[in-house]
Amino acid sequence: MKRSVRITICSLFIILINSELALAKVFHYQTEFEQAKWDYSGDRYQCKIEHKVSGFGQFKLIAEPGSPVKLQLIADWVTFNNKQSTLSVQAPSWKRDNHSNSTQTLLVWHDNMASSQKAINPFIEGLEQGASWQASIVATEGDTYLVETTPIATQAIAQKFKLCRHNLLPKPFSYVRRVDLPFNSGSSKLQLAHEADLEAIAQYVAVDNSIVKILVDAHADGSGKRLANLVMSQERADEVASRLIELGITKNMVEVRHHGDRSPKVSNNTHAGRQLNRRVTIRLIKSPITTPVSQQTGAPHESL
């Protein structure tokens, strides 16, 4: 008798599961070829392509200086938090077969936007080959949303994006606005490691017309005599300023100051502290934004 009851309960449970699965549906979203398009915009600061998927939302691919490429899916009407969805590269329909392997990455949802910064290059290459992207989203109620790009004119848009990425600035303003260059004890010689930062600063200044001044402040550690430290900091400042000018920065934009062992960053009582204090700090100063007096909320300030 008990066995019969257990079998009945199990049977009912299986029926309920099958009923829920039967109720779950798959919805496919893809813009018709006649209405589909890919939009591109790009400059030295950012490269971006966008593709609208009718009825669901928009795919975006974004590249910025010094950061991994971001692939985003922005939904118009669904939201999830910390949910993961699969995004894959789908070969053109005429190339698909049972043995086709698709490249995948995971999209992580925050509100109405899902994004990934991992394994993005295959998705760009997929566009060059006429492939599409397909996101598989399993909703809470069990329904599945397949959101797919339309493979139209994707080769041209991918090439524009790749060329734009190649021409991006090496670093964003958040990095070059203030850079500390460390120096060896008793030396004012520029190191190989300094060159990448100096080139990034010079390239940024070349394209951002709002930069009006470059402050070069040089420091020494607390070892040695004060006058010798002052001379050493001056030599370090002059070396950095000269290299920036060689890289194309106008001489009158560069303001050089040397401080000797004054204004240490940390205590000079340790070896590690003295290493941090032997430095040249480069700061980019932007022009204040011109606004009507009635709209000004405070005095202009340096971008430190």
pLDDT digits (tens, 9 = 90+) for 32-84: 999 999 999 999 999 999 999 999 999 999 999 999 999 999 999 999 998 99
pLDDT of residue 21: 46
| Radius of gyration for the alpha carbons in the chain, expressed in angstroms and rounded | 29
Question: In this predicted structure, what is the pLDDT of residue 141?
Answer: 82
Q: Mean pLDDT for the chain?
A: 88
Q: Note the pLDDT of residue 125.
A: 95
Q: Measured in Å, how far apart are the chain's first and last C-alpha atoms?
A: 81
Quick check: do 24-166 and 173-295 share a fold? no
| CATH topology (fold) of 24-166 | Immunoglobulin-like (2.60.40)
Are the CB atoms for 230 and 278 separated by under 8 Å? no
Query: What is d(CA 237, CA 245) in angstroms, rounded to the nearest whole number?
Result: 12
Boundaries of every domain in the chain = 24-166, 173-295
**pLDDT beyond 70 at 146:** yes
Write down the pLDDT at residue 95. 64
Q: How far apart are CA 183 and CA 187, in angstroms?
A: 7
Quick one: average pLDDT of 152-165?
96
Whether the model clears a pTM of 0.95, i.e. scores above it, the answer is: no
Query: What is the three-class DSSP state of 12?
Result: helix
Looking at the structure, give the CATH architecture of the domain made up of residues 173-295: 2-Layer Sandwich (3.30)
pLDDT band at 288 (very low <50, low <70, confident <90, very high): confident
